[in-house]
Structure 1
Amino acid sequence: MNTSEQPPVDRAEEIARAWQREQPQLPVDSIGILTRIHHAAKLLADERRRVLARVGMDAATLDLLSTLRRSGRPYRLSTRELATRCLITPGAVTQRVDRAQQEGLVYRLAADPGTRAVPVELTPAGHHAVENAVDGLLTYEQGLIEALSPQEQQDLARLLAVLLQDLNARAHRRS
């Protein structure tokens, strides 16, 4: 390593040490986990935006198209199902569908009789676009986690699932 190059600063460790020095009674173990998750999430979101920009897609459109694609043939869901699966409001689904429809990636079908649910389906162009985007994105993102061994990847995925399940339960109790 060049002497002018410094190793990256571990901000979480730096923050925890500072709080321990300033207020030793504070519990700081969460900093080592949550600050790192927050920092990793920001870096990963930035990387995802860059990769998607290369294939001409934004994260919201990818979310919509990939949700439809994962639903299986005929790659159709109601706007209500899309809102639930994408974890967004019905208004946000409408905006996403409008934009994707203008780009020729999806189309709306007639509302189901007796309901206000409007089915949305991938067009062939949407199918091609999502396949292309997901292939490039997942291949790239797999490379981002190769610093971890396959076992470490499995362990981290399992631990994050436990943490996320508890966080979701806490959020549900508050609402």
Structure 2
Amino acid sequence: MFRPKHPPGRLDQVNSAGEPGFDAVDAIEHAWRRERPATPVRSIGVISRIWHAAKLLGDERRRTLAALGVDQATLDLLSTLRRAGPPYRMTPAQLAGACLVSAGAITQRVARAEAAGLVSAERTASGRRTRHVTLTDEGHRVIEGTVDRLLGHEQDLIDHLTDEQQELLADLLRVLLGGLRARLGAPDEPGQVGDQR
């Protein structure tokens, strides 16, 4: 539950003991505010928590994928093909664009997935170039099971937030990311499962 805290207008956090109160980020922000009153420190409360949450979620995703026997690159490839809809087929250029990786990286991902029977590659007569990459039945089985378990687990991780809080946070993060991309000239990120759904 969210409660007002001091100073007024801030949202309460839960400390390491599970009780409402200042957290470590609050302590850092308030220390800088005390030591350097003229230094703008409000960003600490946003950016430090995003960095910490990203690390926690990234570490947990790696553990979850390892338990499921899928690496992030393969998950990205299979997810991209699955989300494309029937016939679940894309060109290497389309895959590279959707995954925001180089043509060489896509070639490597496709080769690994093909060796595992997760995709099939249609090549030119010379065999030098891949024309299309298609999700196989085994690829379907793997991605369907992985998505359900991964996203179910990650939903559990944020279920301490109400539906309204999750929607509000998603909206605020969308605005934050859009503003950052515009200011930094960064491209949109790929639509991976989980962090880019």
Structures share fold, TM-score greater than 0.5? yes
1:160 alignment counterpart = 173
Q: In the alignment, which residue of structure 2 is the partner of 1:7?
A: 17
Residue 93 of structure 2 corresponds to 80
Q: 1:79 to 1:171 in 2, by over 3 A?
A: farther
Write the deviation string for residues 30-86 of structure 1: whole angstroms up to 9, x where unpaired. Answer: 111111111101111111111111110011111110011000011111111111111
The residue type paired with residue 31 of structure 2 is A
What is the RMSD of the two structures over their aligned residues, measured on CA atoms?
2.2
More strand by share: 2
Question: What percentage of aligned pairs have identical amino acids?
Answer: 52
Compare 70-79 and 163-172 and name the one that shifted more. Answer: 163-172
- State the aligned residue count: 167
The equivalences for 1:1-175 within 5 A come to 7=17, 10-111=23-124, 118-172=131-185
Structure 1, unaligned stretches of length 5 or more?
1-5
**Counterpart Cα distance in 1 of 2:142 and 2:67:** 12
Q: Could you give the per-residue CA deviations for residues 10-40 of structure 1, whole angstroms, max 9, x where no partner exists?
A: 3322321232233221111111111111110
Q: Does the 8 Å contact 1:80/1:117 carry over to 2?
A: no
In structure 2, C-alpha distance between the alignment counterparts of 1:173 and 1:144, rounded to whole Å: 29
Q: Which amino acid is 1:43 matched to?
A: L
> CA shift at 1:117, angstroms?
6.6
Q: Which moved more, 1:90-99 or 1:35-44?
A: 90-99
Cα contact 1:68–1:75 (8 A) shared by 2: yes
Give the residue type in structure 2 aligned to 1:153.
Answer: Q
Q: CA deviation at 1:164?
A: 0.8
Q: 1:104 to 1:15 in 2, by over 3 A?
A: same
8 A contact 1:105–1:126 mirrored in 2? yes
Query: Residues of 1 paired with 2:94 and 2:144: CA distance?
Result: 21
- Please list every run of 5 or more consecutive structure 2 residues that lacks an aligned counterpart in the other structure: 1-15, 188-197
TM-score (norm 1): 0.86
- Answer yes or no: is the 8 Å Cα contact 1:68–1:77 preserved in 2: yes
Q: TM-score, normalised by structure 2?
A: 0.77
Matches of 1:90 and 1:173 in 2, distance apart? 20
Change in 2 beyond 3 A, CA 1:23/1:54: same
Deviation readout 1:85-112 (Å, 9 max, x if unpaired): 112222221221111111111121125x
Aligned equivalents of 1:19, 1:90: Cα separation in 2: 46
